Amino acid sequence: MNYKSVYIKGKWLSVQKGGLLGKKEETDFSRIDGNQLAEQIESACNEFARNGFKVISITPVSSGSSDYIQGLNRVFTPTTGAIVTAERIEQSP
């Protein structure tokens, strides 16, 4: 059997933050763009199919971090991407 895996990294969300001096765009490192990740996973699955592979698993990848703000310890474990694993389809003789 022949297996192949790819890691697909999600894109962090950009959010608008407002203040007295106007709005500005900042990256939110606690969330990724789920729609964009789904499109990348779909593209990878279609590429595997075109090359004679069958997807056997899609595994989310999380990355943990924490910070300490105003006496509170906050822990984040956002999904940061996915691993797509596929198996080559054996052709019948």
- Express each pLDDT in 15-64 by its tens digit: 887 767 777 888 887 788 999 999 999 999 999 999 999 999 999 998 87
Burial of 92 (0-12, 13-18, 19+ CB in 10 A): exposed
pTM of the complete model: 0.76
Q: Is residue 18 part of a domain?
A: yes
- Within 10 Å of residue 10's Cβ, how many Cβ atoms? 22
- Residue 42 lies in domain: 3-88
Q: Is residue 48 part of a domain?
A: yes
**How many domains would you assign to the chain?**
1
Q: Is residue 65 part of a domain?
A: yes
Beta strands in 1-93 (DSSP E): 3-9, 12-17, 24-32, 53-62, 65-69, 72-76, 79-88
Q: Is residue 63 part of a domain?
A: yes
Q: Is residue 72 part of a domain?
A: yes
Q: Is residue 37 part of a domain?
A: yes
Q: Is residue 22 part of a domain?
A: yes
Q: Is residue 93 part of a domain?
A: no
Q: Decide if 8 contacts 41 (C-beta within 8 A).
A: yes
